[in-house]
Structure 1
Amino acid sequence: MTLAAAPVAPLSGDVLLVLVLQLAVLLLAARLLGALANRLGAPAVVGELTAGVLLGPSVLAHVAPPVSRWLFPPVAEQMHLLDGVGQLGVLLLVGLAGTQLDLGHLRKNVGKAAKISAGGLVIPLALGIGAGFALPSPLRPEGTERLVFALFLGVAICVSAIPVIAKTLIELRLAHRDMGQLTMTAGLVDDVAGWLLLSVVAAMATNGFRGSTVLVSLGWLVLVLIFTMVVARPLVRRVMRWASGTSERGAPIGAVVILLLLASAGTHALKFEAILGAFLCGILIGSCGMDLARLAPLNSVVMSVLAPIFFASAGLRMDLTALAHPPLLAGALAVLTIAIAGKFLGAALGGLASGLSRAECVALGAGMNARGVIEVIIAMVGLRLGVLGVEAYTVLILVAVITSLMAPPILRRAMAATTETADEARREQQRMALIDAERPG
């Protein structure tokens, strides 16, 4: 006779207390500093990351060691609980970002956008891979294959952050300009390519680098994309049509969360990153024809609660004191320079090939340089997989922050030297008329 296994004990009171306080403190600091960053003209993610830096080993651990050890103890169980909340937030964040992908706009501008995105992707990718081979061992963790580290660094450097780009262009009233439209479209292409490349490199990091491993990973990736278009697309459309047709107001939100989590589990089970499944599923949800305004409550919770906790916990793992060592500081500056110059050069060459003016090419390079949210997510993936150490992770977070901060002033100055066309002016008038029509009264 086989006895049933004893039930698993619930969280202890002390562990639960620390977790709840961690979430409260991180969220409070992230919200306050995120609002301050917005007031100063910077993306909220900069303030949210700064909150984690202040509460982590860079500041709090030195200012109040006992408080730091109690609130953020170096205990795997406690950190894994916080990671679980953060991972839920990032999966929903990436999925909701996927719903905003405008496939129609992408198809209309595919010619010019392809040139810009190719330059903005290939050149920084190549430079990043080269830097990965050249960087010294303190920035490359012991035991990590040099090729895998180099490929991962190349992927991290070549991405753009479409949420930061879109927010910046809207706030500067440049989204209606041809340059703004091209920047967002090229950024979308780079985002999609970045997620696919990340999944392949992550699979290599998990299974080891061998020719057969790469071919198998690429084969599975092709099958995932085919499954997404042939099977998942009509299935998602049917589920969302059913959820939107019910009388229960929360049905669409529940259906979206379930679909995103199942898609994440599916790609993760295939040794790809879970965020790939969330992103692909988000694209399907956004293109299924449902009213995305019904997801506003979910978007509010993710953007106001879960995402700030994730970014603050990402900043919590930064250790800026490591950059006090001259060799590491030199390596960090080299990576930052390569990331900025590579994106500027690639995007500018693509812009020139598309017939843009020099000023528009500078603006294009500045806009696509913003790494923001995407860079942070990729850095967290690298840290979790063991491809990145704390030092390299800290460097990539700095790249995300600095490139996001530099984009608005350069965009503003470069576009001031260009003249708005009649088509661009008409586009802005239509947008303003739509806003006026939506206002009450």
Structure 2
Amino acid sequence: MTPMNLAVPQDSNVQLVLDVLPALLVILVASILCGKLAVRWGQPRVVGEMVAGITLGPTLFGRLLPDAQQSLFTPSVKPVLYVLSTIGLTLFMFLVGLGLDHEKAPPGHQKTAAILALSSMVPAILLGCGVGLLFHEELSRTDVSPGMFALFVGGALAVTAFPMLARMLYDNGLERSRLGVLALLAAAVDDAVAWCFLAFLVAFHGDGGLFESVRVVVLSAVFAVFVMTVGRRLLRKLGEKVRSRGDLTSGQFHLILMIVLAAGWFTEEIGVYAVFGGFVVGLAMPHEPAFQKAVQRRLLDTVQGLLVPVFFAFSGLNTQIGGLTGAGTLLPLCALLFAAFVGKYSGCVAVMRARGFSWREGSALGSLMNARGLMILIFVNVGLAEGIINEKTFSLLVVVAVVTSASSMPLFKLSLGRHNAPPPTDRYEKSGRVTVTDAAEAGVVER
């Protein structure tokens, strides 16, 4: 091959780098600025980062400076952002799974948390299914059945963001209160159920018919069982080594990365999104505090500082809020917001009252469980990528994600009134009894 033949791909690669780097710089600047503004206004940083992603899309940047927006996010740049966001989400969901550990919860809390999770999910799913069926013709793709569309909308509205919830509680000193522990445990159960639900939806939506759907479901189940049994036993030795040494070696860290990426590749290959593989591997990892903190220390800043903002930006490129104010779209949006909030809120209040908690505590927990954060965005991005929903429904659900996440903490504080800080007798000692909350302290949170 002559040097002239090599020149074209080399020039093309250089041009791709010159295209991608400015896009990443703009994404980071917008993420940092909007994140700081969100914190100043009393919101979690992730709410600002979500808004930053939307502003970089056609909603704001594309409307004010369309030529600049199109030249920055060219057709060659978007696939790179998609790959980076997929890797980032796989690693992020691994960290989420790593932080979910409810085995040492106080007596009775596991049962209450499981009931709370189900009571918040079932009404949200039912109401979401109702909205999906009602507006199927207006919102759905023509090749998606009313049942599949309704189930997806219901599943999306049932999501609660464990990482965002952990950050909210930790910032307000409530992560070890009775209410905080229950909320974190319920959100952990919610996340696990939601991602299994999504995996089944993606499997049954495939074009291969019943046989292909069954194949995907069976392979997903075999993968999850294998990882949570054989894989968990093998990984336990890794946790013991890290605990005795006090930190991860480079070889151990590389091994973890290889396992996570291999799991993401496998689940993507069998027809389930890569984030499911990362999440299951995270659940199977040792829940030794030293191991968790060592992994989080290596991964968290890169994932949340770079890759997650890229995901928000990629989501924003598919979000067009400007077209959602018409009469034909405003009604479905209001219906989705109503179903999202009431579904979570009503179920939580009912169970909390039945378990002996006050109206204020029930209202506060119902508000917290409406924090959907990054989780619902991952959910709807999978739906868009798999062809279950179109860009119009995607945009509506992104708005639901931002509104419910931004309203969660203000409504929580309003519910408790002057009783924001729990009394000392309502707090658990920092003795490792509630390891699920260690995720907040270690940093597995949407900042």
TM-score using structure 1 length: 0.88
Deviations 1:299-348 (A, max 9, x none): 11112121122222222321012203211111111111111111111212
Distance in 2 separating the partners of 1:155 and 1:106: 27
How much does 1:218 deviate?
4.2
How much does 1:430 deviate?
10
Alignment of 1:38-437 (within 5 A): 38-73=39-74, 75=75, 77-105=76-104, 108=107, 109-207=109-207, 210=210, 215-239=214-238, 249-287=249-287, 290-295=290-295, 296-416=297-417, 420=422, 423-425=425-427, 427=429
Distance in 1 separating the partners of 2:102 and 2:56: 40
**Structure 1 alignment gaps of length 5 or more:** 1-5
Aligned CA distance change for structure 1 residues 226 and 46 (closer, same or farther; 3 Å): same
Aligned CA distance change for structure 1 residues 32 and 249 (closer, same or farther; 3 Å): farther
Distance in 2 separating the partners of 1:59 and 1:420: 41
Aligned CA distance change for structure 1 residues 166 and 234 (closer, same or farther; 3 Å): same
Specify the alignment match of 2:444 in structure 1.
Answer: none
One-letter code of the match for 2:143?
Answer: G
Distance in 2 separating the partners of 1:423 and 1:215: 51
Deviations 1:43-78 (A, max 9, x none): 2222112222222111122212221221123x2x43
> 2:247 touches 2:291 (CA, 8 Å); kept in 1?
no
Distance in 2 separating the partners of 1:312 and 1:57: 11
How much does 1:234 deviate?
2.1
After alignment, is 392-401 or 253-262 more displaced? 253-262
One-letter code of the match for 1:63?
Answer: L
One-letter code of the match for 2:382?
Answer: V
Distance in 2 separating the partners of 1:286 and 1:248: 13
Distance in 2 separating the partners of 1:420 and 1:64: 49
SS of the equivalent of 2:43 reads: coil
Distance in 2 separating the partners of 1:149 and 1:57: 25
How much does 1:104 deviate?
1.7
> 2:57 touches 2:313 (CA, 8 Å); kept in 1?
no
Distance in 2 separating the partners of 1:164 and 1:267: 26
Distance in 2 separating the partners of 1:35 and 1:14: 32
After alignment, is 106-115 or 360-369 more displaced? 106-115
SS of the equivalent of 2:173 reads: coil
> 1:264 touches 1:278 (CA, 8 Å); kept in 2?
yes
> 1:116 touches 1:348 (CA, 8 Å); kept in 2?
no
Distance in 2 separating the partners of 1:425 and 1:226: 36
What CA RMSD, in Å, does the superposition of the two structures yield over aligned residues?
A: 2.8
Distance in 1 separating the partners of 2:33 and 2:201: 36
Deviations 1:393-433 (A, max 9, x none): 111111111111111112122223659455324637999xx
TM-score using structure 2 length: 0.87
**Structure 2 alignment gaps of length 5 or more:** 442-447
SS of the equivalent of 1:356 reads: coil
One-letter code of the match for 1:168?
Answer: M
Distance in 1 separating the partners of 2:142 and 2:77: 26
SS of the equivalent of 2:202 reads: helix
One-letter code of the match for 2:234?
Answer: L
Aligned CA distance change for structure 1 residues 380 and 138 (closer, same or farther; 3 Å): same
One-letter code of the match for 1:424?
Answer: D
One-letter code of the match for 1:89?
Answer: G
Distance in 1 separating the partners of 2:130 and 2:321: 24
Aligned CA distance change for structure 1 residues 337 and 224 (closer, same or farther; 3 Å): same
Distance in 2 separating the partners of 1:122 and 1:79: 36
How much does 1:208 deviate?
5.9
After alignment, is 363-372 or 7-16 more displaced? 7-16
Distance in 2 separating the partners of 1:261 and 1:104: 27
> 1:144 touches 1:387 (CA, 8 Å); kept in 2?
yes
How much does 1:26 deviate?
0.8
> 1:155 touches 1:197 (CA, 8 Å); kept in 2?
yes
How much does 1:100 deviate?
0.9
> 2:178 touches 2:427 (CA, 8 Å); kept in 1?
no
Number of equivalent positions: 425
How much does 1:364 deviate?
0.9
Distance in 2 separating the partners of 1:129 and 1:308: 30
Higher RCO (C-alpha under 8 Å, 6+ residues apart) = 2
SS of the equivalent of 1:137 reads: helix
> 1:98 touches 1:286 (CA, 8 Å); kept in 2?
no
Deviations 1:131-180 (A, max 9, x none): 11111434212322222211111110111001111111111222222111
Deviations 1:261-320 (A, max 9, x none): 111122222222211110111122242675323221321111212112222222232101
> 2:247 touches 2:290 (CA, 8 Å); kept in 1?
no
> 1:252 touches 1:294 (CA, 8 Å); kept in 2?
no
